[in-house]
Amino acid sequence: MDIVVLLKQVPDTETLIQIAPDNASIKTEDVKWVINPYDEFAVEEALRIKEAQGGGKVTIVTMGPERAVESIRTALAMGADEGLLIDDPAAEGGDALGTAKVLAAAIRGVPCHVIVAGQRAVDDDCYQVPAAVAAFLGIPQVSMVVKEQIQDDKIVCECTMEGGAVVVETELPALFTTQKGINEPRYASLPGIMKAKKKPLARKTLADLGIKPSEAGEAGAKCRVMNLTFPPERSPGKIIHGETPEAKAAELVRLLREEAKVI
Amino acid sequence: MARGVLVLAEQFEGRFRKVAYEALSEGRRLADALGEPLTGVVLGSGVEAMAAELANYGADKILAGDDPALADYTTDAYGNVLCDIVKDHDPKILLLGASTRGKDLSARLSARLDTGLAMDCIALRIDGNMAVATRPMFGGKVLAEVAIQGMPAVVAIRPNVMEVVAAQKATAVEKVPVNVGAVRTKVLEKKLEAAAKVDLTEADIIVSGGRGMGGPDFSLLEQLAEVLGGTVGASRSAVDEGWRPHSDQVGQTGKVVSPNLYVACGISGAIQHLAGMGSSKYIVAINKDPEAPIFKQADYGIVEDLFKVVPAITAEVKKFMA
C-alpha cells in the first residue's frame, strides 16, 4: 500500500512572532522550524498503515524552501521511505489554494492509495490545503480522523466533530486529515537517523510540475494578506484579595455580576 | 453578473447551529452594504419546515435542499449540491460557519470553484467591490486582514464571535433540485453526546481545569459550570495526563473558544493555552502559584487553593441565584 504524507515545516509554537517591515509577513530570523505538529501524527499514521498492510511505500511531499529538507529527513528517520521537496521561489507567498495546486501536481506523479495530512498547519491555521488537494485529485476527503482502519479498498474512519464523533466508510484512494488523539508519533531512532541520510529525496520546481508562476505563489493568490497586526492587548487585571477563600469567592462573584456583568 | 450574499445555514440533527444565525446576521449586514439580496440555504432531509426560520434573520430568499440523500453529511453530497446552488444563483459572497463541517466543506468548495477562501474569520467588511476579512494566524498571535478574490468569495466565520441580529422578513421557502452525484462516503455510526451539552466552541461560559486539578476528578468544576450554565474544558496537561478527553482540550492543539467568561482553574497559562482562550471576553484565573503566567492575562485573579475557592464560588453563585 503506497501512502503519501503532506508535510509542512512551520515555526515552533513557542516562537515569538514578530511582524516583518512589509507588514504582511513575519520575521523569520529567530524562528525555530519544526514539523507541523498535526503532520507528525500524519507521518506516524502512514507508517502504521504501511506496517498493518505488510508493506508499501511512504512518500513525504513538502512544499517549501531548502530548510524544509530537515523536516523531511526527520520523517524519513521515523521510517518514511522517500521524500519530495517542491522548492521554487515562485511558489512562495501564495495562498492555500496555490499550495494545494502545487502539491496535487506533485502527487499525480506518485501513485498512491492513501494521502495523509495534518488537519491544519499551525502557522496559517487555514485548514484548507488537504481538502483542496483532494478536490484537485478528484478523491474523497475525510477530516479530523482519530482512528482509521483500511479494509480492502475502503477506509473506515472515526472523525471528531462538535458533540462527539462520526464513523464513516470511504472508497480508496482517499485523503484523510489527522486530529490529535489518533496516535503517539514515534521518535526517530539513531539507526533510523543514519538510514534517513541515504533515503531518496527528490527536488522539483514548478516548471517540473507543469505549473506556471501565475498559478501559484503570490502571483496566483486568491486570498491575499494585506496586513498583519497584533491583537489588542488585554488591559491588566486585578488580583482579588481576601482573608479567606470564601471572602475572595464572594468578591469575585460580586465583580463578575456588577463590574463584568457576565453572570 | 455575480450578485448577493449566499449563506449556508448549517443544521445538525434537525437544529440550526448557533453559528448559522451568526452567519445569516453577518450576511444581512454585508448584503445591506452591497445593496444586494441575502439568500439563506438549508441542506438536509426533512428540513423544509425549519428553513422558514431563516426569515427571522433577514433572508430575502430561502432555498431548501431537502432530500433523504442529504440526511447525513458527506463532503461529496453536500459539496455537489452546494456547488449546483452556487452555479445557479451566482452569489458574490458565500458565507458559512467554520464549524468542523463548515471547514471541511468550504475548503473543498474553494478548490472546486477555484475561488478565494478566508477561513475562521472574526470580522468582515466590503472594500469597494472586494470582501476583506480579518482572521487570526499563528494560533491567534497575529491578526491578518485578507482580501478575497473570486466569485464567489468564500468566507467561513469563527463560531461564537459575530452578533446574532433578528431581522424579520416575509420570505417563503423555495425547494431546490437535489443531485448528490457520486457519493463515495457512507456514514456507519454516530457517537454523539447528549444534545443538551453545549460544545466548547459555542459556549458563553467555560470552567476549565489544568494540571493543578491533580487528577481526573473535575466534579468541583462541573458543579460550578452547572450553576453558571457553562461547559467544562481542560488544558493540554490535563488531557495528556489522561484525566479528560481530547474533545475537552482548549488550546492551540485543542479547541479555540470565545466565551464571555473563561474560568481557568489550576492552569498555568502556557502560550499554547492562550491561543485557545485568549479572545475570551473575561478571564478569571485561580491558581496556587502567584507567578503563574495566566495571571498576566486574567481580568480577575485569585491566588488560592482551587479546591477551597472553587466550591466557595459555587456556593456564592447559588446564593444570589436563589
**What's residue A111's pLDDT?**
85
Average predicted confidence (pLDDT) for chain A = 96
List of residues 6+ apart from B28 with CB closer than 8 A: B38, B57, B58, B59, B165, B167
**What's residue B322's pLDDT?**
79
Walk me through the domains of chain B, giving residue ranges and CATH numbers.
Answer: 5-175 (3.40.50.620), 200-321 (3.40.50.1220)
List pLDDT tens digits, range A180-224: 999 999 999 999 999 999 999 999 999 999 999 899 999 899 999
Walk me through the domains of chain A, giving residue ranges and CATH numbers.
Answer: 3-220 (3.40.50.620), 232-263 (no CATH)
Q: Do A134 and A31 meet the contact criterion of CB atoms below 8 Å apart?
A: no
**What's residue B193's pLDDT?**
83
Q: Between A17, A37, A132, which is nearest B107 by CB?
A: A132
**What's residue B196's pLDDT?**
65
pLDDT at residue A168 greater than cutoff 90: yes
pLDDT tens for each residue of chain B, 322 residues long:
899 999 999 999 999 999 999 999 999 999 999 999 999 999 999 999 999 999 999 999 999 999 999 999 999 999 999 999 999 999 999 999 999 999 999 999 999 999 999 999 999 999 988 999 999 999 999 999 999 999 999 999 999 999 999 999 999 999 999 999 999 999 999 999 876 678 999 999 999 999 999 999 999 999 999 999 999 999 999 999 999 999 999 999 999 999 999 999 999 999 999 999 999 999 999 999 999 999 999 999 999 999 999 999 999 999 988 7
Within 8 A of A253 by CB-CB distance, chain B residues are: 313, 316-317, 320
Half-sphere exposure of B67 (CA within 13 A, CB side): 15
Cell of B200: 466548547
**What's residue A72's pLDDT?**
98
Chain B (218-277) residues lying within 8 Å, Cβ to Cβ, of chain A: 228, 246-247, 249, 252-254, 260-261, 271-272, 275
Distances (CA, A) of A238 to A209, A259, A262, B282, B287: 58, 12, 17, 12, 14
Distances (CA, A) of B198 to A239, B234, B294: 30, 15, 25
Cβ of residue B292 closer than 8 Å to a chain A Cβ? no
Query: Coil, strand, or helix at residue B142?
Result: strand
Contact A180 B249 (CB under 8 A): yes
Over range A10-29, report the average pLDDT.
95
**What's residue A236's pLDDT?**
85
Contact B110 A126 (CB under 8 A): no
Within 8 A of B312 by CB-CB distance, chain A residues are: 245-246, 248-250
Q: Between B111, B272, B296, which is nearest A135 by CB?
A: B111
Contact B116 A97 (CB under 8 A): yes
B159 φ/ψ angles, rounded to the nearest 5 degrees: -60, 150
ipTM: 0.95
**What's residue B195's pLDDT?**
64
**What's residue B129's pLDDT?**
81
List pLDDT tens digits, range A142-166: 999 999 999 999 999 999 999 999 9
User: Which residue reads 430561502 in cell numbers?
Assistant: B62
